Structures are given as C-alpha cells and as structure tokens.
C-alpha cells in the first residue's frame, strides 16, 4: 500500500493476551516509532488534542526531535485520546496494509492496558465506567439523582467537582425510573401488516445509555419499526464495554463480549437482526469485539448481523421501502456525524435516513463534537472538549436549524453546550435528539 492509495485499511486483532503487549520497554519503543512518524506527517493536527500535545512536546524539546522527549511526558498525549478512531479511519496515510503499520488509537489503548495492569488508572474514572451498576443504583432515586446533577444546582455540582473531578458546568446524562426494558414490557405497539417490510424481525440491543439514560431513543425506534411492520424485542444482557475499553480494561471487555454475544446470537438464530441504539455500542459489536477475540464464532456472527439503528431504517428503505406517512418536520435539522458512526465505515446513514423526510432542510456537521464519552465531563478535560468541538458547534449554530441531531446522544448535548458558549440566546431555540426520534416525529409517533 502506498500513500494516497485507494486500498481499504486493515485493522489487526489486538494482541492483548500476549505478555509482550504489556512489556513497558517494548511499548516505549513502539510509542517512539509511531510518534516519530506522526511528528513528520502532522496531518492529524486538527482532529483532537492528542496530536497538538505531541507536536508541542517535540517542538519544545532541546533537539526539536522525538529523541529528546522524555517517555514520561507521553502520558499527556495518551490521556487526550478519546478512541474516536478518526485518525485511523479518515486521516492517517500509514494505516495497514502500509508498511508503517500505524494504529494510533489501539496504541493508546495498549498504553492504558499497561496502566490498568499496573493499577495506575484513576479510581473515579473506573467507577464512572460501571454504567450498569450506576444505572441500577440511580433508577429508584432518579428524581434525586437528576436534581443533584443539574448544572443549576451549584451546591451539589461544586461538591461533585471537588470529590469526583467532574466539571461543574458539564451537562450530565439524566436517569429514569422506568428503563427501556420496563417500557417495552409495559407498552406494545401494533404491527402494520400492510407495510412493505412486514415480516422483518429485529432485536433491539438497548445499550446502557438507551436503557437507563435515554429510553426515548428505544421507544422511538420501536414505534417507527412497528409502523413499518417490523417485529421487535428489547434485550439488554449488559453494557457493551466501551467505558471499560477506554480505561484499558480489555479482559473485562472480552468477558462482556462473550456474555452479551451469547444471548444476542440466540435471537439471530431465530431470524432476528440486531439493532444497537447508540453508535459507540454498534461499533463495539461490529468491530472492536472481533478484534479482541478474533476466533470467537459468536462474535463473528454478531458482527455481520448488527445494524446501527439509522443504518437499519435506510436498509429497509432501499430494499422493501418505507411505509408512507412521513411529514415535514417543524424546522430544519443540523445533522452531526458522530465519530463512532463514521468509524463503522457504513456511510452517513443518519443523514441518509433524515433525507427520507420530505421538505425538511438538512445540513451536515462533520467535525468532532469533542465530548469523547466520560472524558469530556472531567474537570481537567471539559474546556478542552469545548475547544475541540468549537467548529462543530459553530457550524451547527450557523446552519440556523432549530433541531440538532446526532447518533451519539452525548455529542448532541455537548454541541448544545458549545452553541451556548457562542450564543446564549440562540441555544434557547434549539433542541437535540437522536435522528430516529426525528423520524418518529415525522411519522407523528412522538
């Protein structure tokens, strides 16, 4: 492979079960090899804060080359990586099969895996990554939890900033007393047996965010699919493990992958497709899990049977055709292309889906929102997260659209915060939602 070629990039499985993976001397050698190539290229300077930090380290070094940068200073570069995969997917000319064999995000993951093995990962970040536990604890006291986490509650947010190091101004996800699973058990929606796609069956993987923090995404999905004749079941064997992956806890992710895939594959064997409600979770099921356990047959089956929710609606439209009844939305939509949706290499399915709504103006925001999961809410990262997402927020603001859509719900909320920083009055006229919620609205199902 040569620079600028049209060959598809290849991603190698993670060699995390090999002792050499955790050898700190070998890791340092690989960091220096990759960082030296990145320093000579600098094509990724505007993607995230990792690369400016790296280049600043080199430029400030005595020789202005990597050889005079201290290895302990590499941590600041690693800490700024959100594993968005955009450098690998969209920018880097040296990804495999190029002989340089660069995979920057997985190298950052390897560094964190070494930290994890050495017990060096932060306590607070580790607790935040336990999304299932946190969701179950918050469910019976959702009202109190949401009150305490409100940005306007300066007392509790001040305490959280001092004890948990969560920035007092960062918007936090809400919790619900009724999860998506609860709502699915309580509410059924009649199937439209006249719809072109009648006969399809799909199991909705709720995801931790869709189950505990925003069940409206799943309810909108159920309603839209029922309108289009698709039978659905909601299942949630557990979190996909993305929060643990961000902490370098690969072994826990591997165990999660085995557990969740075993249940989902039972549904696949009964003729169901699998739909993931959040793009990060779809990315895990499609790509990250098979790279962690490349010989696991369940993971191979699940990878080829999983759809992002927007991808699934577009698939119906292209094959059977959507049910009639879509009406124009009240106002234009600014559609943010989330990094983990783009990393699935499926095209801009969220935008493609929203273009099916008649007479509705759609503008595209392609830059990163800067949020990066739990990374962007931390005290030491929040202002940087807003800086990284400033261009995306500016583009969404300049579009004039009152509706902000993103397949990453956290990114959508973060964009609203970025817009608020630029125009505190204009943000009052804007709302953020997952694109499937706008589809439900266009069908009159909200």
Query: CATH no. for residue 385?
Result: 3.40.50
Last residue of a domain, one of 319, 349, 377: 319
For residues 112 and 225, state if they share a domain: no
For residues 410 and 430, state if they share a domain: yes
For residues 45 and 99, state if they share a domain: yes
State the Cα–Cα distance between residues 100 and 87, nearest whole angstrom: 15
Q: Is the residue at 14 inside a domain?
A: no
For residues 113 and 129, state if they share a domain: no
Taking residue 259's Cβ as centre, other Cβ atoms within 10 Å add up to 13
For residues 388 and 310, state if they share a domain: no
What are residue 9's phi and psi, to 5 degrees?
Answer: -70, 150
Query: CATH no. for residue 202?
Result: 1.20.1050
Q: Is the residue at 298 inside a domain?
A: yes
Give me the pLDDT at residue 9, please.
81
What are residue 276's phi and psi, to 5 degrees?
Answer: -100, 135
Q: Is the residue at 2 inside a domain?
A: no
Give me the pLDDT at residue 1, please.
47
Q: Is the residue at 171 inside a domain?
A: no
* CA dist list (Å): 373 to 6, 80, 97, 185: 31, 12, 30, 29
For residues 203 and 141, state if they share a domain: no
For residues 258 and 279, state if they share a domain: yes
For residues 204 and 314, state if they share a domain: yes
pLDDT tens digits for 47-87? 899 999 999 999 999 999 999 999 999 999 999 999 999 99
Last residue of a domain, one of 132, 164, 196: 164
For residues 186 and 314, state if they share a domain: yes
Q: Is the residue at 169 inside a domain?
A: no
For residues 369 and 303, state if they share a domain: no
Q: Is the residue at 170 inside a domain?
A: no
Last residue of a domain, one of 272, 291, 319: 319
Q: In the beta sheet, which residues pair with residue 403?
A: 333, 431
For residues 394 and 297, state if they share a domain: no
- Its domain, for residue 223, covers 180-319
Exposed, middle or buried by CB within 10 Å (0-12, 13-18, 19+), for 144? Answer: exposed
Give me the pLDDT at residue 78, please.
96
Q: Is the residue at 71 inside a domain?
A: yes
| Strands (DSSP E) found in 346-399 | 362-365
pLDDT tens digits for 260-277? 999 999 999 999 999 999
Question: Which residue ranges in the chain fall short of pLDDT 70?
Answer: 1-7
* Domains held by the chain: number: 4
For residues 44 and 159, state if they share a domain: no
Q: Are 170 and 377 in contact (CB under 8 A)?
A: yes
């Amino acid at each position: 492979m040569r620079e600028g070629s049209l060959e598809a990039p290849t991603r190698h499985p993670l060699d995390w079960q090999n002792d050499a993976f955790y050898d700190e001397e070998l890791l340092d050698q690989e960091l220096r090899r990759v960082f030296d190539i990145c320093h000579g290229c600098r094509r990724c300077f505007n993607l995230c804060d990792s690369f400016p930090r790296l280049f600043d380290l080199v430029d400030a070094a005595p020789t202005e080359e990597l050889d005079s940068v201290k290895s302990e200073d590499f941590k600041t570069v690693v800490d700024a990586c959100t594993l968005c995969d955009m450098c690998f997917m969209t920018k880097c000319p040296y990804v495999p099969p190029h002989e340089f064999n660069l995979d920057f995000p997985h190298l950052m993951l390897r560094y964190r895996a070494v930290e994890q093995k050495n017990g060096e990962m932060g306590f607070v970040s580790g607790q935040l990554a336990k999304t299932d536990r946190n969701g179950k604890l918050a469910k019976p006291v959702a009202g109190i939890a949401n009150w305490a986490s409100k940005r306007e509650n300066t007392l509790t947010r001040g305490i959280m900033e001092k004890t948990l190091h969560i920035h007092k101004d960062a918007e936090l996800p809400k919790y619900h007393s009724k999860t998506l699973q609860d709502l699915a058990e309580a509410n059924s929606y009649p199937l439209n047996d006249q719809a072109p796609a009648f006969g399809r069956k799909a199991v909705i993987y709720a995801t931790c965010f869709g189950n505990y923090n925003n069940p409206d995404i799943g309810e909108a999905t159920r309603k839209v699919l029922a309108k289009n004749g698709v039978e659905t079941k909601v299942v949630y064997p557990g979190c996909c493990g993305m929060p643990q992956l961000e902490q370098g806890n690969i072994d826990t992710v591997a165990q999660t992958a085995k557990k969740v895939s075993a249940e989902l594959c039972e549904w696949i064997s009964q003729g169901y497709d699998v739909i993931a409600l959040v793009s990060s979770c779809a990315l895990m099921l499609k790509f990250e899990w098979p790279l962690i356990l490349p010989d696991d047959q369940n993971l191979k089956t699940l990878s080829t049977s999983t759809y992002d929710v927007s991808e699934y609606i577009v698939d119906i439209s292209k094959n059977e055709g959507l049910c009639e009844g879509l009406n124009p939305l009240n106002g234009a939509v600014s559609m943010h292309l989330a990094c983990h949706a783009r990393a699935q290499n499926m095209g801009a399915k969220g935008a493609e889906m929203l273009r099916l709504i008649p007479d509705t103006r759609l503008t595209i925001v392609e830059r990163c929102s800067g949020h990066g999961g739990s990374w962007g809410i931390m005290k030491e990262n929040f202002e940087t997260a807003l800086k990284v997402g400033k261009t995306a927020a500016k583009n969404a603001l300049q579009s004039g659209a009152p509706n902000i859509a993103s397949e990453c719900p956290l990114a959508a909320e973060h964009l609203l915060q970025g817009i608020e920083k630029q125009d505190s009055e204009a943000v009052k006229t804007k709302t953020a939602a997952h694109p499937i919620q706008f589809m439900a609205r266009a069908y009159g199902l909200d």
